Amino acid sequence: MPQKNVLQLQSQPAENPALPLRSRNWIERLWSTIAERGRKFAKIPGGDIDRVKRAELLTQALLSERGEASGAAVSRELLHVLRGLGVDERLQYFLFLAEAFHPDSGRLAAAATAYLADQTAMSAAMLFDAAEPPRQEVLRRINMAQGGTALLVHLRKQLQAFLGDHPVLGLLDADLRHLFSSWFNRGFLELRRIDWQTSAAILEKLIAYEAVHEIQGWEDLRRRLAEDRRCFAFFHPALPGEPLIFVEVALVNGLAGSVQNLLERDKDEAAQGARAAAANSAIFYSISNCQDGLRGISFGNFLIKQVVEELREELPGIKQFATLSPVPGLRHWLSGHLEKLELPPVKISNAERDALLEAAGVSPNPEAESELAAALVALLAKESWPKIPALADALKPVMLRLTAFYLTQSAALNFRIDPVARFHLGNGARLERINWLANGNRAGFRESYGIMVNYLYDPAMIEANHEAFVCGGAVAHSAAVEELMQQPRQNLLRRLAAEGIHR
């Protein structure tokens, strides 16, 4: 659902005081009553002024108000004005917020001097308080208004579009991100299971927000909520009808190696029930963040761990928890090497090398170090290669080794690690398996040549894996992944033989 509709839904009571009281909960009625009574005490600017100027004056009035009722009246009026601003007017208002509410320089300098002279916990607290820009208090007071949280989330989404051209807005973005980290922390989030009995409004949003594997209408959604599937979402009390993030889970036997199998529209309910009963693995195959305005606020780590616990309690037969995940940075990373006709230092056997060169129609030349990269460029440029077994078979071992190198070496070598890998490895998962041609859709090939990976969440090892990754960049991985990174046995035996060593 478009964000503008979200705002309309969230703000309806505030924009329409005549809405019947029975349609509001008691907190909304109380807040509306206080705001209405506070109008006679508030300093609400009037006159013939443009909307941006009115919003600026209301913001300054909001910060200066001390009374609860008058503050409620001002904040309600400010929200009403902000909702009516156009794109250019929003930019003007964002710049106003970023530039007009800096910390008091004299107070900050005095607090810094006091801290340097006497570095105690009390002087540090005073310095922290002096360094906080008044802008954060403005945002807190906007948030207290009915519909204020939804509006601020929406404003931050719009703010993202202006950051490149207006670096000063980074100050406002940082303040919003800081405050959202507190307002949307795990203690406020509610995990709900989504099923076919969930309200149609929520299900519609599930279809709209799916960012990994598009849901093709209601019938497809029904399949994803079947007996051998699970779906969970996090909600926040300030956005009761809006999922913040959701995860789709498939109950299967063993690790899933192809997303096509998970997305099949099987309508046989008896077969779905049988699969659910026989399942020993829960596969997280789609995790979608729903609110662009909350970008940078992490919910996924809490979501996965809580869903694991929910599934362990509901389904004792589930012993393995893993993902089937994309590798969105793979193609970009490999393309950077291939443009220079070079390959990362992966360990490829002579047989794998010869097969790749033959498939590309290149004569082997041991002295040409770039020929293998040139062969890869030639084969991957053929859009039909996934459908030609000889080409796909020649590419497979080399591409799997490259993927293993990319996912395991990036963190240790300070490369820009794949974002999905960073998320799961940082949550304590283990890189378990790399799956060839696991995603046959166009986006899958565009990002990672159809390759997907399984990250395994072993409850007994999550904390140890997390510490090893965040502290030293170590990537926990399985023996199967390790084998892809080792010197192929054929090459090793030839090298030993050449050195006069026989095994």
Q: Which residue has the tokens 């940078």?
A: 296
Same domain? 302 vs 432: no
**Using the 8-state DSSP alphabet, how is residue 312 labeled?**
H
> What distances in angstroms separate CA 173 from CA 79, 97, 105, 336, one per listed residue?
19, 10, 21, 32
Given this model, what pLDDT does residue 6 score? 33
Do 422 and 450 lie in one domain? The reply is yes
Q: Do residues 336 and 464 both lie within one domain?
A: yes
CB distance 14 to 145 below 8 Å? yes
Residue 74 has a pLDDT of: 85
Residue pointed to by tokens 């100027």: 53
338, 300: one domain: no
CB 294 within 8 A of CB 153: yes
Question: Which residues are the active-site residues?
Answer: 325, 424
- At which of 183, 217, 234 does a domain end? 183
Distance CA 229, CA 243 (A): 19
Calculate Rg over the CA atoms of the chain: 28
Helices (H), 240-323: 259-263, 269-278, 300-314
Q: Which pair of tokens denotes residue 370? A: 């770039």
Which residue numbers in the chain have pLDDT < 70? 1-47, 65-69, 365-369, 410-415, 487-503
Distance CA 166, CA 170 (A): 8
Residues 301 and 352 reside in one and the same domain = no
Which of 307, 323, 339 is the endpoint of a domain?
A: 323
CATH of the domain at 294: 3.40.630.180
Q: Are residues 445 and 490 in the same domain?
A: yes
Buried b or exposed e, range 257-266, using 16+ CB within 10 angstroms:
bbbeebbeee
Q: Do 259 and 164 share a structural domain?
A: no
- Cite the beta strand spans of 367-437 per DSSP E: 430-435
- Tokens 């919910």 label which residue? 299
Q: Residues 149, 84: one domain?
A: yes
Domain with residue 378: its CATH number is: 3.40.630.150
CA distance 367 to 385: 27
Tokens encoding 344: 């990362």
- One domain for residues 434 and 308: no
CA-to-CA distance for 421 and 455, rounded, in angstroms?
8
Q: Are 324 and 283 in contact (CB under 8 A)?
A: yes
Instruction: Let me know whether 319 and 335 are in one domain.
Output: no
Could you tell me if 74 and 46 lie in one domain?
A: yes
Residue 409 placed within a domain = yes
What pLDDT does 69 receive? Answer: 67
Q: Is residue 502 part of a domain?
A: no
Residues 32 and 13: beta-carbon distance below 8 Å: yes
Tell me how many domains the chain contains. Answer: 3
CATH of the domain at 156: 1.20.140.90
In 3-state terms, what secondary structure has residue 229? strand
* Domain carrying residue 466: 330-496
Residue 503 in domain: no
3-state secondary structure of 490: helix
pLDDT at 140: 93
Asked whether residue 501 is domain-assigned, the answer is no
pLDDT of residue 356: 93
